[in-house]
A and B are shown apart, each in its own frame.
Chain A
Amino acid sequence: MPSRRSIALAGLVLPFAGLSLGAAPLAAAPPRQTLVIVTQRNAGLSEISLRQLKHLYTGEQVEGPAGSALIPLNHAPRAPLRVAFDRLVLNMNADEVGRFWIDRKIRGQTGAPRAVPNIELLRRVVATLPGTLTYLDVNDVTPELKVLRVDGSAPGDPDYPLRVE
């Protein structure tokens, strides 16, 4: 005879088991999205680390090869690409990012990197202005931009870190 306890446990587990091991086929996995870090095509910068990205996008100053400060540019708050980037690089969801920047400003610290909601404008700014960089979907890269390696990996490498479901 199963005890009351085991019945109760089964009641907790079975719904999950039904979800996980049931015969119904799961839907096909959604396509992965690859984010790339881009800068001006003829910039001296060719690589950046995840740590540097995190610093850049949390208000720290990071200098490029020429010694001048890099200028990070963002997508609009809650834009899908920004949400993905914030999760991958900053380990924050949209609410956490919002709190982070509001709290920083109330402390008197600098605000968030400039957000450019228009992707075409964003690409043009990065292509035009030395020192600027941003992130794009891999399919949105234009010829005047250069894609940076991240932590030593190019976007097609298996261990490229900026890939999200």
Chain B
Amino acid sequence: MLMPQRSALVNTPRRSRLGGLALVCCLALPRAARGEVDGALALQTTDALPAPASAPPPTPALPTEPVPEAAPPAVDAGAPKTPTPESAPLTAEESAALAALSSELSPGPETLDLDEPQIDLYGFADLTYVTQVGKKVAFAQHHASFMVGGFNVYFSTEFERRWRSLAEVRFMYLPNGGYAGETQYAAVQGSARADTSVLDPADLNKPVRWGGVAIQRVWLEYRLSNYLTLRAGQWLTPYGIWNVDHGTPTIINVYRPYILNENLFPERQTGLEAYGSFFAGDTKLGYHLTLSNGRGPIDTYLDLDDNKAVGARLFAQNDALLGTLTFGVSAYRGNYTERSGNGTTIEDGELVIFDPPTEKYSELALAADLKWEWEGFYLQSEAILSELRYSDAARPSYSPLPPAPVPTQIADSRRYGAYALLGYRTRWNIMPFVLGQLYHNPLISDSRELAVGVNFRPSPRVALKAEYKYVFIEDPPGLILGDIDFLGLQVAWSF
């Protein structure tokens, strides 16, 4: 039987001078370094002092090994005893709670309540204010604006502790105000701004603008073990840091870096994902493997080619050396195919497949990411490269920046970029940060950017952010775009 040492039953006052010296050291060090929030560190410091005769605290006798059911708690007969509490009788309310908890936590399908699965409903939202600061440039938003950008709601359900489902939807004011037909690289001249106003008969025909819902993800997963979980549905592509952090309360700054905003990897995919992890010593090693429709105009419910996209992510995380260090690499390979027709025609009286692609390219994306958290310091960086190779038979036109001739056929491209964000979270939950990024896009322009800002989380559920950005834009031949600087303020909250 293992018995706790109970030689000391009285707390001994510290030696005041040593205690005072420790206080000086604490005051002279940053809070994070002196263990003010780290009881373990404080404890080690204390224990490093010459041990007084009564170092261990009073500890009641405890059963540290299995004992017969009816046996009383083990007691060291040679030491003074601390009374062990007896279990108090439960009230009716507590008994009901115990039964509910037992049902919920018990392993095995027999406890599954098929009629009333529990749904965890939560989400986040944000409000952003953005304004250009210096000389206003033409290609960016001209007017200072408030914007409700994200209003995402999650529906999470866990069945039997191995099955888990998650659905996340984003409620939007769009399509009101959007320009139909516009794409990332092609403005549609003369297109009208969408107006979704309709008369609401439930409110005396008062005009109301309806908005849309964007499904962010919806999946079901089955956890076999830490080594393997299988997921089916639509999921966020598991690459890098930002795309997984996903929500504005979690993300430190206001704006996504270009390499994410331009979707060098698909932000989400529809298909299957397998992931898992294991520990090799102090290091956690993990993987994600994906099989999906890949990118496409309607990839969430229809693949317009037979080539499934594949992807992988490998990562290593160590929290024993210096803080928590995570390094990962990701890859994605897939085809994009657009077809405009209904896929059939009649030849010689026979209905046959006729489905030529109007746009088709193969895509390879590679990424690496690094995250380091140590005390209050925070470093996050990602680099991504994306190659698009078009099929000559299905190479679309696009509208390059003037004064280039328009339209022209889009060229194969290699886009790449990187960003690094460095911050320090102070004791007041304020994190000043700096972000630098580079982006090369042969279809538009190269840009470099420097941003400084502050992220303040007055509550774990609320993030207040301010970010000033200066973007150095490399003007394309014959066109002056001009650098741009602007200020973004954001409040993001989870609920």
Contacts and interface: CB of A to CB of B under 8 A. Distances in A.
Contacts of A138: 59-60, 62
A9 B60 CA distance: 49
B134 interface: no
Contact of B97 (A69, A95, A118, A144): A118
Nearest to B61: A156
Contact of A107 (B12, B250, B457): B250
A158 interface: yes
Nearest to A60: B226
Contacts, number: 227
Contacts of B226: 60-61
Contacts of A118: 94, 97
B27 A128 contact: no
Contacts of A44: 66
A29 B216 CA distance: 53
B57 A31 contact: yes
Interface string A76-99: 000000001001110111011011
B195 to A, nearest CB: 33
A46 to B, nearest CB: 6
A125 B46 contact: no
Contact of A95 (B60, B102, B429): B429
Contacts of B156: 105, 111
A46 B27 contact: no
A158 to B, nearest CB: 5
A149 interface: yes
A127 B106 CA distance: 13
A146 interface: yes
B82 A139 contact: yes
B62 A36 contact: yes
Interface stretch (B239-247, B258-266, B328-336, B446-454): B239-247
A129 to B, nearest CB: 6
A141 B62 contact: yes
A77 to B, nearest CB: 9
B3 interface: yes
Q: Which of B5, B59, B154, B223 is most buried by chain A, counting CB atoms within 10 A of its CB?
A: B59
Contact of B40 (A88, A139, A146): A88
Interface in B36-88: 37-40, 42-43, 46-47, 51, 55-57, 59-60, 62-67, 69, 71-73, 82, 84-88
B166 A108 contact: yes
B249 A102 contact: yes
Contact of A102 (B40, B87, B106, B461): B461
Contacts of B122: 105
Interface string B199-239: 00000000000000000010000010110000000001000
Contacts of B429: 95
A163 B250 contact: no
Given A34-B57, A87-B40, A123-B87, A156 B3 contact: yes
A51 B82 CA distance: 30
Interface string A129-165: 1111000001111111111110000111111110111
Interface string A18-60: 0111100110110111101000011110100001000000001
Given A31-B11, A129-B102, A155 B225 contact: no
A88 B43 CA distance: 9
A61 B43 CA distance: 28
Interface in B455-489: 457, 459-461
A15 to B, nearest CB: 9
Contact of B85 (A32, A63, A71, A140): A140
Nearest to B25: A20
Contacts of B247: 106-107
A139 B245 contact: no
B73, B246, B282, B459: residue with the most chain A Cβ atoms closer than 10 Å: B73
A142 B84 contact: yes
A25 to B, nearest CB: 6
B102 A128 contact: yes
Nearest to A61: B226
B65 A46 contact: yes
Given A20-B20, A46-B64, A96-B37, 18 more contacts: A16-B27, A17-B24, A21-B20, A22-B20, A29-B12, A34-B59, A61-B223, A99-B460, A106-B154, A107-B247, A116-B101, A121-B97, A142-B73, A144-B87, A146-B64, A158-B51, A161-B40, A164-B42
29 contacts: A16-B23, A16-B27, A29-B14, A44-B66, A51-B282, A73-B105, A106-B245, A107-B247, A107-B250, A108-B168, A108-B236, A114-B104, A114-B105, A116-B101, A120-B87, A121-B101, A127-B87, A130-B107, A138-B59, A139-B82, A140-B85, A143-B86, A145-B63, A154-B5, A155-B59, A155-B62, A156-B4, A157-B4, A158-B56
Interface of A: 16-17, 19-22, 25-26, 28-29, 31-34, 36, 41-44, 46, 51, 60-61, 63, 68-69, 71, 73, 84, 87-89, 91-93, 95-96, 98-99, 101-103, 105-108, 110-111, 114, 116, 118, 120-121, 123-125, 127-132, 138-149, 154-161, 163-165
